[in-house]
Amino acid sequence: MSLLTNVMDHSLDEGYAEAAARREAQGDGGLPRTLRAKAGLAVGLVLAALVVTVGAANARLAAPVVAKERQELIDRIERETTAADKLESGVDTLRADVSARQRAALKKDGGEQADLVSILSGATDVHGPGVRLVVNDAKEASTGGDGTNPRETSGFSDTGRVRDRDMQRVVNGLWESGAEAISVNGRRLTALSAIRAAGDAILVDNKPLVPPYTVLAVGDGQRLSTRFQNSDDGLYLHALQENYGIRTSISVEGDVRLSAAPSVIVRTAEPSTKKGTP
């Protein structure tokens, strides 16, 4: 108890008290004692106050200008975005018109195989029995890696994500299994379609896709599903599911509807030769 009482009565160490008394006796502590020192302190305080005041005034004067410039930039972005949307809408309209003319030309000059050519080229809407295959990233896709995993190539270290090469194998496997028409996330595939990567995004005909990736394929549903799952590409997809947690599901559908490709590009063309003409 005596120790606690001593601590309470002498909260400040005696050495500090002695040092303070010595500085006060020597005239080193407290406010400046001479007129010159007091004047210097006053001038310093005035300068500090002046700097703070000028800075606040400048900030207040510049605030409306900055706000105006920011609003002008926002308005400009909105105008340019609106103009870009109008141009894109015009491009889509022209593509639809070109596609319609191409389909009409195929029906007019394609003869008995016009419908088949239109389906195989992706130039017309199709529907019928088929399969729905959904491929999605793992629930907890890893963000690290030490480079020892065979999937960690081309700068990718995330082994739980679906890659463009995975989708390529899925699509090729469905074609080989008997699919007559295929779309990925609503984009119809043609003989000229390309599945590529840009960073971590998968592109189909230069259009980015967002997971999950829904693949619709028209064909003999049950047979198409069985043949795909037993093929090398189907087993590859199953291995991704087992080893990396990539989520997949496949179901047989009674009626699958695929829209036509946005535009079918004609690379080469030859005039048809009809009977009776040289």
Q: What is the pLDDT of residues 63-90, one digit of tens each?
A: 777 787 888 899 899 999 999 999 988 9
Please name the amino acid found at residue 222.
Q
CA 194, CA 227: separation in Å to the nearest integer?
A: 24
Residue 229 lies in a domain: yes
**What does the mean pLDDT of the chain come to?**
79
**Residue 190: Cβ within 10 Å count:** 19
Residues contacting residue 242 through CB under 8 Å, at least 6 positions apart: none
Q: Are 87 and 131 in the same domain?
A: no
The segment with the largest mean pLDDT, out of 26-35, 96-105, 153-162, 205-214, is 205-214
Q: Are 166 and 42 in the same domain?
A: no
Q: How confident is the model at residue 150 (pLDDT cuts 50, 70, 90)?
A: very low
Range from 40-49, 159-168, 252-261 carrying the lowest mean pLDDT: 40-49
| Domain enclosing residue 64, as ranges | 31-109
Total of domains in the chain: 2
Q: Are 78 and 137 in the same domain?
A: no
Q: Are 187 and 245 in the same domain?
A: yes
Please determine, for residue 175, whether its predicted confidence score (pLDDT) is greater than 50: yes
CATH number at residue 233: 3.30.70.1880
Please determine, for residue 156, whether its predicted confidence score (pLDDT) is greater than 50: no
Please determine, for residue 155, whether its predicted confidence score (pLDDT) is greater than 50: no
Q: Are 94 and 40 in the same domain?
A: yes
Contact 261, 181 (CB under 8 A): no
Residue 116 lies in a domain: no
- The closest alpha carbon to 256, from 227, 228, 218, belongs to 218
- The closest alpha carbon to 222, from 121, 129, 152, 88, belongs to 129
**Residue 128: Cβ within 10 Å count:** 16
